[in-house]
Amino acid sequence: MTVTTLKARTTPYTGEKARLSRAYDYLILVLALFLFIGAFHLHVALTVGDWDFWIDWKDRQWWPLITPLMMITFPAAVQAVLWPNFRLPLGATLCISCLLIGTWIARFFAYHLWNFFPINEVLPATMLPSALVLDAVLMLTNSLTVTSIFGGMAFALLFYPSNWPIFAMFHVPVEYGGAQLTVADLFGFQYIRAGTPEYLRLIERGTLRTYGQYATPLSAFCSALLCTLMYPMWWWLGKAFATTKYVKNI
Amino acid sequence: MWIATGALVAFYLFIRVYEQIYGWRAGLDSFAPEFQTYWLTMLWTEIPLELVAGLGLTGYLWKTRTRDMSVLSTREELRRWVCLAQWLVVYGIAIYFGASFFTEQDATWHMTVIRDTDFTPSHIIEFYLSYPIYSILGVGSFFYAKTRLPYFSKGYSLAFLILTVGPFMIIPNVGLNEWGHTFWFMEELFVAPLHWGFVFFGWMTLAVFGVVAQILMNIKRLLGEDGVKAIID
């Protein structure tokens, strides 16, 4: 290798064309950011919304089952485009970050500042650790199959542990009117919601077939299995949406 | 792009302040006269304005279309490709406000009032203001590409159609939504199956993949081999 080629590699290209391509980097990134906040947030709000909105919906049975299942969708689709085409290992993290930005803005400005629900009652769940692992698995293995199975499983299994530090303090029991409640229940009772009566909550109520203390791990593993199926489905959906086909008539 | 973004953000900031004040002062009882003054007037103003704006924008873009694409210089075509990306960025920001901010905001308003009309303050903003605005911008970006860029001028890019028509279909889906809430048993459950139509049409924004792929293909073509090489090295 001669000195000149070395120098050519170390000095970044600064011509007009380089500036154009850099401008495109920003345009597409900003486009992706806002579009995915909008679309992914819509998807999440209308499929796992109520569990994500309210502290007293975050239970052991339904919340850890449905949240990863519905939140692995867009990450898989975005990964299907960003990784094979651009080798950008950030599809899932990008989506989940977009989602968190969108939800936090809505929770603070709408739930809190407009309708005065305390922020602690409307904390969103986080999927960031799961998304980071999903991206890392895809980057390291470069395999759809391995990422579906191990990445998808990790995505679901990490959900409850990574949210535990945020929500555990609301599970402290209190005695209230002679009954036992969690602090989360109390939030739900105290800050009155016009449209959510207590019976409407889709949360664990116990069955005669539930043995021991396994509710959360069971939900997490069930979700893990479903995520391994959901992941490739949305991967192919992402691929399909990346079509450059033309149609003659509409 | 900066002007459109600034205008959009300033406008929605104003709307957010307006609803802070008049949501609580005039938006709680739809049978009260002040609801007419502060909210229904807004509804009856915004709908015709949006229709006119949408038709005007598409009409203008079509009227001023480039009739002979063969005279386009490479430089001018490159400029237009950047302009298209700017259209899409503004579309994305409008989608953010519509699908994210004002949609989830509605969930909290549902928990504030037992509603006595389909046209709550939140619905007047969400369904009949923020959704039409992003739809207009989507159709605008589609028409811009169709009338200004040779690549899009012949035939229809499937991805671009899905990207602009899919989220647009969220507006007619409001019909299903309101019908279900009015005539069917529906509690104020946000994850109710009746809302999944919105989700389905929201997925259509993923077609941005195809559109961006088409943009990048063309940029690569216009930059030429030496340009691409210079950037990569």
Indicate if the pLDDT at residue B203 is higher than 50: yes
Tokens matching residue B14: 């104003």
Stretch (H or E) spanning A173: strand A173-176
Nearest residue, CB atoms, B101 vs list A24, A105, A243: A105
- C-alpha A128/C-alpha A153 separation (Å) is 15
Confidence (pLDDT) at A5: 54
Nearest residue, CB atoms, B158 vs list A49, A102, A247: A247
Q: How confident is the model at residue A204 (pLDDT cuts 50, 70, 90)?
A: very high
Residue with tokens 């200004």: B148
Confidence (pLDDT) at A6: 53
- C-alpha B94/C-alpha B170 separation (Å) is 14
- C-alpha B216/C-alpha A28 separation (Å) is 10
- C-alpha A171/C-alpha B144 separation (Å) is 54
Q: How confident is the model at residue A10 (pLDDT cuts 50, 70, 90)?
A: low
- C-alpha B21/C-alpha B38 separation (Å) is 10
Tokens matching residue A134: 């999903």
Q: Look at chain A and count its residues.
A: 250
Query: Among the listed ranges A158-162, B102-106, B115-119, which one has the minimum average pLDDT value?
Result: B115-119
**What DSSP state is assigned to residue A31?**
H
Q: How confident is the model at residue A1 (pLDDT cuts 50, 70, 90)?
A: very low
Query: If phi over 0 gives left and psi between -120 and 50 gives alpha, with beta otherwise, what is residue A125?
Result: beta
What is the identity of the amino acid at B233?
A: D
Phi, psi dihedral angles at A175 (to 5 degrees): -100, 125
Report chain A residues whose CB lies below 8 A from the CB of B109: 114-115
Shortest Cα–Cα distance, B155 to chain A (Å): 5
| Interface touch B95/A35, C-beta < 8 Å | yes
- How far is the CA of A139 from the CAs of A46, A79, A82, A147, B233, in angstroms? 31, 10, 11, 9, 23
pLDDT tens per residue across span B58-99: 999 999 999 988 888 988 999 999 999 999 999 999 999 999
- CA angle (A55, B203, B106) in 5-degree steps: 40
pLDDT tens per residue across span A160-197: 999 999 999 999 999 999 999 999 999 999 999 988 88
Report chain A residues whose CB lies below 8 A from the CB of B221: none
Find residue B156's DSSP bridge partners.
A247
B90 against B192, higher pLDDT: B90
Report chain A residues whose CB lies below 8 A from the CB of B233: 8-9, 13
CB A75 within 8 A of CB A88: no
| Interface touch A195/B213, C-beta < 8 Å | no
Nearest residue, CB atoms, B190 vs list A24, A33, A50: A50
Count contacts between A and B (CB, < 8 Å). 211
CB A79 within 8 A of CB A32: no
Work out the widest C-alpha separation in chain B, in whole angstroms: 69
CB B181 within 8 A of CB B194: yes
pLDDT tens per residue across span A41-62: 999 999 998 999 999 999 999 9
pLDDT tens per residue across span B116-174: 888 999 999 999 999 999 999 999 999 999 999 999 998 899 999 999 999 999 988 88
Residues 6 or more apart whose CB falls under 8 angstroms from that of A209 comprise none
- How far is the CA of B43 from the CAs of A92, A145, A162, B101, B119, in angstroms? 39, 51, 44, 19, 8
Phi, psi dihedral angles at B213 (to 5 degrees): -60, -40
Q: How confident is the model at residue B35 (pLDDT cuts 50, 70, 90)?
A: very high
- C-alpha B228/C-alpha B219 separation (Å) is 9
Helix (H, G, I), strand (E, B) or coil at A94: helix
Confidence (pLDDT) at A196: 82
Stretch (H or E) spanning A233: helix A215-241
| Dihedral (Cα; B216, B89, A83, B158), 10-degree rounding | -60
Q: What ipTM is given for this predicted complex?
A: 0.91
| Interface touch B202/A39, C-beta < 8 Å | yes
pLDDT tens per residue across span A92-115: 999 999 999 999 999 999 999 999
B200 touches chain A (CB under 8 A): no
Share of chain A above pLDDT 70, in %: 94
- C-alpha B57/C-alpha B51 separation (Å) is 10
Confidence (pLDDT) at A2: 52
- Nearest alpha carbon to residue B206 among A32, A167, A41, A63: A32
